[in-house]
Chain A
């Protein structure tokens, strides 16, 4: 059972007010429990939680580089196994989407192939927020970032979001799931399940970023719920490669989700760009068909 009163991530970190990632990390640690060794690659989370000599973590925590968090986690897992401590103590990686979908993919692939017993959680804020909102593999279609600026000749990011959960399902992972910080109970339950599943498990957590996406800091949860409601984010669980559960919704058009964020404002100003909005709607429709989310 998840202990909601467990606090393993302390006050005083330097995240922006209303940060989706820091709220998500608090929930993830509640789901993971005390006997957890956390590994973090470089990213917003690492920078805002551990400005030396301070740390917000109350669990053992280690940072190495952008690309090798899952290799470090593999080493810790192997050491725990050798000492007979694995099972009582668990290894958890919490990384951003840049470290997970772009830079660290090679090491993640290796660790999943070797079958280490650890859980990898990616908090997905859909760009490199720490260094100034550069595009990552997780950036959705048509989003305005500093490296894919929207303008006269560009509509923002020209490539769709990379589907890493499916890549890791293809690695034979026993448990792959997606969640969002906008549904805390669901998120905590999925983390708990992943931690208690033997083998390499993966969880991708939608974590809205008020600074990078351009919305009011009080709306973080609401934006998360809107993404699920329009079908651009799907909450599902895949166990041994089979879809086990999916959050079904009464879908709404993508317009309200896009309009609420400054990174998509070029689709509505100066005039509404029907063609591009139809393309984004098509992505949501394809998600709905693939996972059967329509009620």
Chain B
């Protein structure tokens, strides 16, 4: 039976769905304050924080604005802040 019968989908095709529109608060990353610990990147439920070291970027196409990254950013850095969307 060839694959294709049944319901198959290409890997990562959910990227068509831009969940950023759900957001109420948006995060702002201050790369100058970032210590590059990578906590935000590891714990983001979306996996929308890209880059490495101290040059991390948040992909606002997908960020739902949960605020977990800002909350968990270590106290000595606090590089991420949340702001109300102007919609």
Contacts and interface: CB of A to CB of B under 8 A. Distances in A.
A151 interface: no
A12 B42 contact: no
A7 B62 CA distance: 15
A18 B65 CA distance: 8
Interface stretch (A20-28, A88-96, A171-179): A20-28
Nearest to A29: B47
A84 interface: no
Interface in A1-57: 4-5, 7, 9-20, 22-23, 26-27, 49-57
B8 to A, nearest CB: 9
A13 B14 contact: yes
Chain A interface, DSSP helix/strand/loop, else mixed: loop
A18 B62 contact: no
B12 A15 contact: no
Given A11-B59, A14-B19, A221-B71, A58 B66 contact: no
A218 interface: yes
Interface residues of B, number: 35
B14 A10 contact: yes
Contacts, number: 111
B9 interface: yes
A9 B13 CA distance: 11
B59 A15 contact: no
Contact of A17 (B12, B59, B65): B65
B16 A12 contact: yes
Given A12-B18, A55-B11, A218 B68 contact: yes
Contact of A23 (B22, B38, B44, B59): B44
Contact of B12 (A5, A26, A56, A184): A56
A55 B42 contact: no
Interface string B27-47: 000000000001000111111
Given A14-B17, A216-B67, A218-B68, 16 more contacts: A7-B47, A11-B46, A11-B47, A11-B48, A13-B19, A17-B22, A20-B45, A23-B43, A23-B44, A26-B44, A26-B45, A49-B14, A55-B14, A58-B11, A58-B12, A221-B68
Interface of A: 4-5, 7, 9-20, 22-23, 26-27, 49-59, 181, 184, 210, 216-222
